[in-house]
Homo-oligomer: A and B are copies of this chain.
């Protein structure tokens, strides 16, 4: 199940690995639909000016140009092409949030709000190849967006939908996930209560904790954010709070009280965080953990923020992130608050495969290969195949009337479990056990587990 990546950053899968990826996508889609999310797709391109509005990631945009534009320019013949130079410059989307926000604005009058959608598509980022990161990868996003307002309970529901979707993959060998949550209002309320007004600046330093440790972060808070040593220590105390039950709320409040940093915003954030942890404790015990050092994304999210790690594979980083935006989109007149999460499907699947956690029972859909006795009787084999397919059994017909041993080998190489021998009396052989029995093309059914390739925990 080797990965094929001859163009650095553009992963491609062999058929058996694609069975794994397709299974992951099917499970995500099914779970999202069970929760009422409507599937949409957006075009791969957005006007470059829209893509460049989102800070850092902008630098990674792939810009498009039509080859013909070159030719025209080279010929000095631009005017021959209908004012094409007036076309907007386009780039490939680097996430599904920017396009979704644009889609919401464009179709606001035709959508019913709150609008719940899922979106499973490729995105592209022209990162430096030496980082070993993907330049093309599949994402699976869910978002809820409201018109004007969006109740808090969606911030509780969305990570639980993801917990269910990723949890549904456990039976095929995907490790359990842990969803780490924080809340912008808690962090901002606390910092402001302490007297630190550059909230983004403090968050930027806190985000370095895993990399450089508490001492250096404390030093940076003092040197760059103008914090006193006591303020810096308080920030680190907050960041150390971590837990899967509502006691985290009391711990945060105790720290705030001790540092005289209680604010209305902090209390609002704590009420939200407490509600999320409480609901998660009931519906997905042990999955959602409040982790007050999560700072990534708190600069642009306005409420809850989420990161998700595969337990035992934490060094892979977050495989599913998101949060609450008070303004996912705005057209000047109306604002559209949203909350969403995005699964990095390629990153997840790549790890499942490279760590040998998951495998496919075969790389072809085929459950039965119908042998061909001789080319004159290929039609008889086609008839058997048609009968099996009509009952939902993926079936192939041998490509040539070779010796039966060679036809069985053809099936064996592909992991096809059954070979059918047509004749006066039809027979079907399970090539794993060697058992061969008489069978009727109109009624025979393979065991349910053999009908389609399955994805299973690698042994």
Contacts and interface: CB of A to CB of B under 8 A. Distances in A.
A27 to B, nearest CB: 13
A18 B41 contact: yes
Given A38-B363, A92-B64, A43 B10 contact: yes
A315 interface: no
Nearest to A152: B375
A448 interface: no
B15 A38 contact: yes
B40 A18 contact: yes
B39 A22 contact: yes
Interface string A253-288: 000000000000000000000000001001100000
Interface residues of A, number: 95
Instruction: Determine the main DSSP class of A at the interface with B.
Output: mixed
A91 to B, nearest CB: 7
Nearest to A51: B67
A365 B38 contact: yes
B45 A136 contact: yes
B15 A136 contact: no
A13 interface: yes
Contacts of A114: 399
Interface stretch (A243-251, A306-314, A386-394): A386-394
Contacts of A45: 7, 10, 136
A394 B36 contact: yes
A112 interface: yes
Contact of A67 (B12, B18, B60, B393): B60
User: So how many copies of this chain end up in the complex?
Assistant: 2
Interface stretch (A124-132, A200-208, A332-340, A436-444): A124-132
A87 to B, nearest CB: 7
A41 B59 contact: no
Interface stretch (A103-111, A223-231, A232-240, A424-432): A103-111
Interface in A88-125: 88, 90-92, 103, 106-107, 110-112, 114, 116-117, 122, 124
Interface in A364-422: 364-366, 375, 378-379, 382, 386, 389, 392-397, 399-400, 410, 413-414
A6 interface: yes
Nearest to A388: B34
Contacts of A60: 66-68
Interface in A38-59: 38-45, 47, 58-59
Contacts of A58: 67
Given A59-B67, A414-B112, A103 B12 contact: yes
A279 B47 CA distance: 50
A153 B372 CA distance: 12
Interface in A1-47: 2, 4, 6-7, 10-15, 18-19, 22, 33-45, 47
Contact of A364 (B19, B38, B63, B154): B38
A34 B136 contact: no
A106 B15 contact: no
Contacts of A66: 60-63, 126
A211 interface: no
A151 interface: yes
A130 B67 contact: no
Given A42-B12, A81-B128, A151-B400, A34 B67 contact: no
- 6 closest A-B pairs by beta carbon, nearest first, are A36-B396, A66-B126, A33-B365, A10-B43, A36-B366, A15-B38
Given A44-B44, A279-B379, 5 more contacts: A4-B107, A6-B106, A33-B365, A151-B399, A282-B379
